[in-house]
Amino acid sequence: MSGRIQPPQGAAKPSWQDLGGRWQLAGAVSEAWRFHRWHVAPEQPVGAFARASWVDALVPGSVHDALIRAGQIRDPNFGLASLQAEWVSARQWVYRRTFRVELAPSARLFLCFEGVDYSAEVYLNGDRLGTLAGTHTPARFEVSRLDRERAHLLVVVLHEPPAEAGQLGRTSQTQTLKARAGYWWDFGTRLVHVGLWRSVTLQGDAGQAVVDVFPRVLLNEDLSRAEVRLDLEQDGVPSLPVTAELVHPDGRREQVTGPASSLAFCLEPPELWWPAALGRQPLYTVRVWAEGSPPVERRFGVRRVALVHNRASRERGARPYTLEVNGQAMYIRGFNMVPSDLIPGREGVAERERTLIGYALAAHANLLRYNGVGPLASETVLDECDERGLLVWQEMPLTSSGTDNVPPQSPGFLANLERDLPALVRALRHHPSVVLLSAGNELTDEAHRPVAETHPTVARMAQLLQASDGTRPFLPTSPSGPEYDLSVPVARARPHDLHDVHGPWHYRGVRDSYLPHTVNRSLAHSEFGCQAASRLSTLQHYLTDGPVWPMNDLNPQVVHHGEWWLMAHRIEEVFGPVEDPGRYVRLTQAAQADVLRHALGWNRARRGECSLSLVWQLNEPWPNAHNTSVIDYDLKPKFSYYRCREANAPVALHLGLPAPVGDGPLTACPQVLSDTPGSGRLTLQLHTVTGMMVAHDSRPVSWPAPGQPLTLPLPASPCLLRAELRGDGGLLARTEQWVAPEAPTPFAPLVQAPATSLSVASSAHGLVVRNGGASVASWVSLEAPAGIREHFSDSGFALLPGEEREVLVSLRTPGGPPASTTLTVQALNAPPVTLSWVTA
């Protein structure tokens, strides 16, 4: 709907022709293609030189995808196969196809490209038309004299991609705005994407064309009236009338015709676009065309966004970090996002992206940060966020590098910036979901201090963003400082210097994983995480070049699929020796889940001070053995996904524990975290591994209010601390956490706990899980088979002996709900139970 060009409806011979679909593809070392004249002749003669071996390729698409389909490379997702695919980016790649002109006669004819990854030359019938460069930078070549009676050979030769650095390099030496995620990052292998990855069309016009339109919305102060001014980009002599049609959310249409500089609509009153939790998402559509040319169509929403101060940011002399939409301040919670796949041309990527948006919304996220490591959020993502009210923070594709994070200032980079940045903004600016822009990720000066708008490159980026858009707030980078990291010493000595911070990300046991979040005083915590292993079924599916176990640096596959995130040594420090891969996966996911819930709870408890809390990260673009994602590559949620959903819920409970271990009695400070005021009864219980209750407290509470300290006994072995909040409508929120005395391997008794047994039965909307044994069933999980998108109301919880819990179930495949499947339920100390599931 928001694509750049939409063909007119109903015309026998439209002025727009799609040249996408099936092309042919062949690779060449350097310019061997020129020597063999692939760009000139459709066929090669038989002779001493071998003829090219062409494979089918889809446009828009990716070279890697075409090679996988043709059997020329193994799918890089499996085993060590990506190592054997790195040669792909060391080639030039030749796309070709033939076509006939199917358009009505017109004064002008253009061959139009929406972008290429990353640069190319274009040939038509052997003649060089020019060059392409930039992932979103369009190009138009006039081909008005094409013979309509013959077929034409169109050839696009992709150059080798630019030689950018992976995660560890020098940002100051970056030359382009090509996303660097595929050059190797901690969440993905080295797989440098290349492809004719955006649309190719043939367009005719009568001498003038509208090539882009930006519906610039100007809202009055009380939001009762909006003017929609149409900023047009045109090509040709502007002598023909320009017509604009506005389609209202209810389907009403209005139309104006006149000079391009005066096209506008008045909405009185406008239908306001709101984030999902605050209201509806009505969308308008504008179509603009010059007589005899194809229309440009854009969908937009009417809303106002700003960053405003809260009391803490004003007192500290910091930037404003509180996001305000239509005058309503929001507490921002959500996730950082990485590409949904390292090969964006794969079949099913759009469905993956829509699934991830659904998972984010179900976890009560209201914003996703697309950080500068990856490419822009795709059109599929942005359309879905527009329709469903999920906000987007988009950074430009410029990022940290480890050795230095200093924004580049070379003439080559600045020339590419001038060419490509406006096109990137044009892909974003009409989307109401996009509420915040940044120059890049983790950009710093030479002293590792986050950059400000005073840096020359960032200043120029801000100017270009303002010129092309100017309707959204801008941050120079994230973290925006003055401190870069969430540091415990700084939090204790200089808390006023914690504005927007990143980290920590690694699991470091039962004290150091928790302490930074407990003492955090940041105004915005835009990136923090903790790692865990992927689901065992995911590991078994992708680690095909050897055994899954051991999950440490002695296993080449485990290292290859996530060398930065190994954690077996930490798990053994907390839980003792673990020899079973399934049990190991469960414990890593339990650790990640507990840390992330802890961080989210402490941030949200500081809501008057902290305005934003974003987990790193929701997804991963490649199957990792260990990673900081809360959903693995097979779109299987880890336990942490459910704990993030719990902590971000409209009503949540925060236990206020500094850590899950203590020396002596345990002091909790339970607090209700809610978007709206309320009252109810809070109950806390402490149970041993046999289910015996050793402490109980029940009290009336109202909120918002700070938590009240509560001292509980801490027995010699691990105990389950539970809290439930009930109101007039029943259960409002619950949470639970295993706690233990501080000691070496404090939670080893859970791994050694007596076995128990689970039973499962169907219910009206899901299933009922019951613990039939004499021990607490720890970390009860529910799993659907591969290919099934699973939505459970909870997973990774505990059941006391004799206790049962109903879990709501929703299952989908790309084609809809499965007619039947199986569900597996198990726990750390309970064997799997399988249930047949039939969709009603």
Q: What is the C-alpha separation between 613 and 526, in angstroms, rounded? A: 6
Q: What is the C-alpha separation between 329 and 817, in angstroms, rounded? A: 38
Whichever domain contains 653, its CATH number is 2.60.40.10
Tell whether 281 and 336 lie within a shared domain. Answer: no
pLDDT averages per 10-residue partition of the chain, 840 residues = 43 76 97 94 85 94 98 98 98 98 94 98 98 97 95 98 96 98 98 98 94 96 97 87 96 94 94 97 97 94 98 97 98 98 95 97 98 97 98 98 96 98 97 98 96 97 97 97 95 96 98 98 98 98 97 98 98 97 98 98 96 98 98 98 98 97 93 96 97 96 95 94 95 98 97 96 94 97 95 98 97 91 97 91
**DSSP category for residue 638:** P
Tell whether 98 and 220 lie within a shared domain. Answer: no
Q: What angle do CA 19, 23, 28 make, to 5 degrees?
A: 130
Q: DSSP assignment of 698-759, as one string?
A: EEEEEES-----EEE---SS-EEEEEEEEETTEEEEEEEEEEEESSSSTTHHHHTSPP--EE
Here the tokens at position 518 are: 């407990």
Taking the CA atoms of residue 246, residue 250, residue 252 and residue 257 in that order, the dihedral angle to the nearest 10 degrees is -10
Beta bridge partners of 830: 827
Is 513 part of a structural domain of the chain?
A: yes
Is 212 part of a structural domain of the chain?
A: yes
The total of structural domains in the chain comes to 5
Residue 180 identity (one-letter amino acid): R
Residue 246 identity (one-letter amino acid): L
CB 163 within 8 A of CB 102: no
Q: What angle do CA 302, 303, 305 make, to 5 degrees?
A: 150
Helices 581-605 and 639-648, packing angle to 10 deg: 20
| Burial label, 503 (beta-carbon count in 10 A; 0-12, 13-18, 19+) | middle
CB 93 within 8 A of CB 132: no
Q: Taking Cα atoms as reference points, which of 548, 671, 546 lies closest to residue 600? A: 671
Tell whether 797 and 766 lie within a shared domain. Answer: yes
Instruction: State the pLDDT at residue 56.
Output: 98
Q: Taking Cα atoms as reference points, which of 447, 446, 526 lies closest to residue 486? A: 526
Q: What sign results for the dihedral spanned by CA atoms 575, 579, 583, 586? A: positive
Residue bearing tokens 């019951």: 770
Residue 461 identity (one-letter amino acid): M
Q: What is the C-alpha separation between 201 and 299, in angstroms, rounded? A: 21
Instruction: State the pLDDT at residue 729.
Output: 85
Residue 110 identity (one-letter amino acid): F
Instruction: State the pLDDT at residue 238.
Output: 76
Q: Taking Cα atoms as reference points, which of 63, 50, 51 lies closest to residue 24? A: 63
Whichever domain contains 408, its CATH number is 3.20.20.80
Is 738 part of a structural domain of the chain?
A: yes
Tell whether 182 and 73 lie within a shared domain. Answer: yes
Instruction: State the pLDDT at residue 5.
Output: 43
Tell me, rounded to whole angstroms, the distance of Cα 290 from its chain centroid: 37
Is 7 part of a structural domain of the chain?
A: no
Tell whether 217 and 338 lie within a shared domain. Answer: no
Q: Which residues contact 758 (CB under 8 A, 6 or more apart)?
A: 769, 770, 771, 772, 777, 780, 799, 825, 826, 827, 830, 833
Task: Mark which of 585, 617, 648 sits at the end of a domain.
Answer: 648
Is 660 part of a structural domain of the chain?
A: yes
Between the alpha carbon of residue 682 and those of residues 281, 381, 655, 698, the distances in Å are 36, 40, 11, 6
Tell whether 641 and 663 lie within a shared domain. Answer: no
Tell whether 315 and 419 lie within a shared domain. Answer: yes
Is 3 part of a structural domain of the chain?
A: no
Q: What angle do CA 230, 236, 240 make, to 5 degrees?
A: 65
Q: What is the C-alpha separation between 46 and 470, in angstroms, rounded? A: 59
Task: Mark which of 251, 277, 300 sits at the end of a domain.
Answer: 300
Helices 349-362 and 379-388, packing angle to 10 deg: 30
Residue 282 has φ and ψ, to the nearest 5°, of -65, 140
Between the alpha carbon of residue 713 and those of residues 373, 408, 700, 723, the distances in Å are 47, 57, 22, 15
**DSSP category for residue 715:** -
Q: What is the C-alpha separation between 595 and 513, in angstroms, rounded? A: 7
Domain that holds residue 769: 753-840
Is 1 part of a structural domain of the chain?
A: no
Instruction: State the pLDDT at residue 48.
Output: 84
Instruction: State the pLDDT at residue 13.
Output: 54
CB 335 within 8 A of CB 188: no
Rg of the chain over all Cα atoms, to the nearest angstrom? 28
Tell whether 522 and 373 lie within a shared domain. Answer: yes
Taking the CA atoms of residue 534, residue 540, residue 546 and residue 549 in that order, the dihedral angle to the nearest 10 degrees is 60
Tell whether 579 and 718 lie within a shared domain. Answer: no
Tell whether 174 and 239 lie within a shared domain. Answer: no
Tell whether 137 and 223 lie within a shared domain. Answer: no
Task: Mark which of 185, 203, 221 sits at the end of a domain.
Answer: 203
Whichever domain contains 122, its CATH number is 2.60.120.260
Is 466 part of a structural domain of the chain?
A: yes
Tell whether 333 and 407 lie within a shared domain. Answer: yes
